[in-house]
Amino acid sequence: MTTLYDADRCPYCARVRIALAEKGIEYETDEIDLDDRPAWIYEKNPLGRVPVLEEDAFVLAESAVINEYLEERYPDPPLWPADPGERALARLLVFRFDQFSKPYCALRRADEGAGEAFERALGNLDALLEGQAYLSGREYGLADIAYVPWVLRARDRLGVELTRVPSVGQWVERLGARPAIAAELELVAST
Protein backbone atom coordinates (compact mmCIF):
# COMPACT_ATOMS: atom_id res chain seq x y z
CA MET A 1 0.00 0.00 0.00
CA THR A 2 1.13 3.54 -0.73
CA THR A 3 0.76 6.12 2.05
CA LEU A 4 1.18 9.86 1.72
CA TYR A 5 2.00 11.77 4.90
CA ASP A 6 0.19 14.85 3.89
CA ALA A 7 -1.15 18.24 4.98
CA ASP A 8 -4.08 19.78 3.15
CA ARG A 9 -2.69 23.30 3.36
CA CYS A 10 0.81 22.40 2.17
CA PRO A 11 1.60 23.29 -1.46
CA TYR A 12 4.54 20.85 -1.52
CA CYS A 13 2.10 18.06 -0.58
CA ALA A 14 -0.20 19.38 -3.32
CA ARG A 15 2.51 18.60 -5.88
CA VAL A 16 2.48 14.95 -4.84
CA ARG A 17 -1.33 14.74 -4.52
CA ILE A 18 -1.64 16.03 -8.08
CA ALA A 19 0.98 13.64 -9.49
CA LEU A 20 -0.63 10.66 -7.71
CA ALA A 21 -4.04 11.64 -9.09
CA GLU A 22 -2.70 12.15 -12.63
CA LYS A 23 -1.18 8.69 -12.55
CA GLY A 24 -4.28 7.11 -11.05
CA ILE A 25 -2.37 5.65 -8.11
CA GLU A 26 -4.43 4.48 -5.14
CA TYR A 27 -3.06 5.62 -1.82
CA GLU A 28 -3.91 6.29 1.80
CA THR A 29 -3.48 9.68 3.35
CA ASP A 30 -2.13 10.30 6.83
CA GLU A 31 -2.91 13.94 7.57
CA ILE A 32 -0.20 15.57 9.68
CA ASP A 33 -1.06 18.51 11.91
CA LEU A 34 1.74 20.94 11.04
CA ASP A 35 1.10 22.92 14.24
CA ASP A 36 1.53 19.84 16.40
CA ARG A 37 3.63 17.35 14.47
CA PRO A 38 3.91 13.81 15.83
CA ALA A 39 7.45 12.95 16.95
CA TRP A 40 7.46 9.86 14.69
CA ILE A 41 7.39 11.99 11.54
CA TYR A 42 11.12 12.63 12.17
CA GLU A 43 11.70 8.89 11.72
CA LYS A 44 10.16 9.18 8.25
CA ASN A 45 11.91 12.45 7.41
CA PRO A 46 14.71 13.79 9.66
CA LEU A 47 13.64 17.33 8.64
CA GLY A 48 10.19 16.65 10.08
CA ARG A 49 8.52 17.93 6.93
CA VAL A 50 5.74 16.68 4.70
CA PRO A 51 5.17 15.34 2.10
CA VAL A 52 6.58 11.89 2.75
CA LEU A 53 5.65 8.93 0.57
CA GLU A 54 5.76 5.42 1.98
CA GLU A 55 5.48 2.12 0.12
CA ASP A 56 5.97 -0.73 2.59
CA ALA A 57 9.56 -0.29 3.86
CA PHE A 58 10.42 2.36 1.26
CA VAL A 59 10.15 5.92 2.58
CA LEU A 60 10.83 9.03 0.53
CA ALA A 61 10.72 12.76 1.29
CA GLU A 62 11.02 15.92 -0.86
CA SER A 63 8.18 16.66 -3.24
CA ALA A 64 10.32 17.09 -6.38
CA VAL A 65 12.17 13.82 -5.70
CA ILE A 66 8.92 11.99 -4.89
CA ASN A 67 7.41 13.14 -8.18
CA GLU A 68 10.52 12.03 -10.10
CA TYR A 69 10.19 8.66 -8.38
CA LEU A 70 6.48 8.39 -9.25
CA GLU A 71 7.29 9.23 -12.87
CA GLU A 72 9.84 6.42 -13.08
CA ARG A 73 7.84 3.87 -11.13
CA TYR A 74 4.54 4.61 -12.91
CA PRO A 75 5.56 5.85 -16.37
CA ASP A 76 1.98 6.02 -17.70
CA PRO A 77 0.81 8.65 -18.34
CA PRO A 78 4.17 10.36 -18.81
CA LEU A 79 4.56 13.67 -17.00
CA TRP A 80 7.91 14.67 -18.50
CA PRO A 81 8.31 15.62 -22.18
CA ALA A 82 9.75 12.93 -24.45
CA ASP A 83 12.27 15.37 -25.95
CA PRO A 84 15.47 15.45 -23.82
CA GLY A 85 16.04 19.19 -24.29
CA GLU A 86 12.46 20.07 -23.41
CA ARG A 87 12.66 17.75 -20.42
CA ALA A 88 15.92 19.34 -19.21
CA LEU A 89 14.42 22.85 -19.43
CA ALA A 90 11.35 21.73 -17.49
CA ARG A 91 13.59 20.17 -14.83
CA LEU A 92 15.56 23.41 -14.64
CA LEU A 93 12.36 25.24 -13.72
CA VAL A 94 11.74 22.81 -10.87
CA PHE A 95 15.41 23.07 -9.81
CA ARG A 96 15.14 26.86 -9.65
CA PHE A 97 11.79 26.88 -7.89
CA ASP A 98 13.23 28.96 -5.03
CA GLN A 99 13.20 31.95 -7.36
CA PHE A 100 9.42 31.71 -7.25
CA SER A 101 8.79 30.44 -3.73
CA LYS A 102 10.96 33.06 -2.01
CA PRO A 103 8.93 36.01 -3.34
CA TYR A 104 5.75 34.03 -2.55
CA CYS A 105 6.82 33.50 1.08
CA ALA A 106 7.77 37.18 1.35
CA LEU A 107 4.30 38.07 0.11
CA ARG A 108 2.70 35.80 2.70
CA ARG A 109 4.75 37.52 5.38
CA ALA A 110 3.73 40.89 3.89
CA ASP A 111 7.38 41.97 3.68
CA GLU A 112 8.09 45.40 2.29
CA GLY A 113 8.26 45.35 -1.52
CA ALA A 114 6.98 41.78 -1.62
CA GLY A 115 4.04 42.59 -3.92
CA GLU A 116 6.37 43.95 -6.62
CA ALA A 117 8.84 41.08 -6.24
CA PHE A 118 6.07 38.50 -6.60
CA GLU A 119 4.68 40.34 -9.66
CA ARG A 120 8.13 40.06 -11.22
CA ALA A 121 8.29 36.34 -10.45
CA LEU A 122 4.83 35.84 -11.97
CA GLY A 123 5.91 37.98 -14.92
CA ASN A 124 8.76 35.56 -15.60
CA LEU A 125 6.29 32.67 -15.75
CA ASP A 126 4.01 34.75 -17.96
CA ALA A 127 6.83 35.46 -20.43
CA LEU A 128 7.58 31.75 -20.63
CA LEU A 129 3.92 30.83 -21.07
CA GLU A 130 3.54 33.32 -23.93
CA GLY A 131 5.73 31.03 -26.02
CA GLN A 132 4.60 27.60 -24.81
CA ALA A 133 1.32 26.18 -23.52
CA TYR A 134 2.81 24.63 -20.39
CA LEU A 135 5.76 25.19 -18.08
CA SER A 136 6.81 21.63 -18.95
CA GLY A 137 6.87 22.51 -22.66
CA ARG A 138 4.32 21.57 -25.30
CA GLU A 139 2.57 19.19 -22.93
CA TYR A 140 1.39 19.45 -19.34
CA GLY A 141 3.70 17.83 -16.81
CA LEU A 142 5.75 17.93 -13.64
CA ALA A 143 6.97 21.53 -14.02
CA ASP A 144 3.33 22.70 -14.15
CA ILE A 145 2.55 20.52 -11.15
CA ALA A 146 5.56 21.99 -9.31
CA TYR A 147 4.34 25.60 -9.67
CA VAL A 148 0.56 25.57 -9.85
CA PRO A 149 -0.13 24.97 -6.11
CA TRP A 150 1.53 28.31 -5.29
CA VAL A 151 -0.18 30.19 -8.09
CA LEU A 152 -3.60 28.93 -6.94
CA ARG A 153 -2.85 29.91 -3.34
CA ALA A 154 -1.53 33.32 -4.40
CA ARG A 155 -4.72 33.98 -6.35
CA ASP A 156 -7.29 32.48 -3.98
CA ARG A 157 -5.70 33.20 -0.60
CA LEU A 158 -3.43 36.19 -1.07
CA GLY A 159 -5.68 38.03 -3.52
CA VAL A 160 -3.13 38.20 -6.34
CA GLU A 161 -4.86 39.23 -9.58
CA LEU A 162 -3.78 37.28 -12.63
CA THR A 163 -5.13 39.90 -15.07
CA ARG A 164 -1.68 41.46 -15.48
CA VAL A 165 -0.22 38.09 -16.39
CA PRO A 166 -2.75 36.87 -18.98
CA SER A 167 -0.73 33.87 -20.12
CA VAL A 168 -0.53 32.67 -16.51
CA GLY A 169 -4.30 33.25 -16.20
CA GLN A 170 -4.99 31.16 -19.31
CA TRP A 171 -2.60 28.46 -18.11
CA VAL A 172 -4.48 28.25 -14.78
CA GLU A 173 -7.78 27.99 -16.68
CA ARG A 174 -6.37 25.19 -18.85
CA LEU A 175 -5.01 23.34 -15.86
CA GLY A 176 -8.26 23.78 -13.91
CA ALA A 177 -10.01 21.59 -16.49
CA ARG A 178 -7.96 18.62 -15.27
CA PRO A 179 -9.66 16.65 -12.45
CA ALA A 180 -6.38 16.45 -10.47
CA ILE A 181 -6.06 20.25 -10.43
CA ALA A 182 -9.81 20.82 -9.94
CA ALA A 183 -9.59 18.68 -6.77
CA GLU A 184 -6.74 20.87 -5.52
CA LEU A 185 -8.74 24.02 -6.32
CA GLU A 186 -11.57 22.66 -4.15
CA LEU A 187 -9.14 21.93 -1.34
CA VAL A 188 -7.69 25.46 -1.51
CA ALA A 189 -11.23 26.87 -1.35
CA SER A 190 -12.16 24.72 1.64
CA THR A 191 -9.05 25.12 3.85
Ligand X SMILES: N[C@@H](CCC(=O)N[C@@H](CS)C(=O)NCC(=O)O)C(=O)O
Euclidean distance between CA atoms 74 and 25, whole angstroms: 8
Indicate which residue of 4, 10, 122, 160 is catalytic: 10
Tell me: does residue 17 bind ligand X (CB under 6 A): no
Tell me: does residue 149 bind ligand X (CB under 6 A): no
Q: Report the DSSP beta bridge partners of residue 52.
A: 5, 61
Tell me: does residue 12 bind ligand X (CB under 6 A): yes
- 40 burial (CB, 10 Å; 0-12 / 13-18 / 19+) is exposed
Strand arrangement, sheet containing 52-55:
28-31, 2-6, 52-55, 58-61
Euclidean distance between CA atoms 161 and 168, whole angstroms: 10
10 is catalytic: yes
Which CB atom, from 136 or from 167, has the smaller least distance to ligand X? 136
Tell me: does residue 19 bind ligand X (CB under 6 A): no
Tell me: does residue 103 bind ligand X (CB under 6 A): no
Amino acid at site 119: E
Q: Looking at 34, 59, 89, 105, which residue binds ligand X (CB under 6 A)?
A: 34
Tell me: does residue 62 bind ligand X (CB under 6 A): yes
Of 149, 157, 153, 190, which is closest to residue 21 (Cα–Cα)? 149
Total interface residues for ligand X by CB under 6 A: 11
Tell me: does residue 49 bind ligand X (CB under 6 A): yes
Q: How far is the CB of 141 from ligand X (least distance, A)?
A: 17
Q: Please give the residue ranges that form the binding site for ligand X (CB under 6 A).
A: 7, 10, 12, 34, 48-51, 62-64
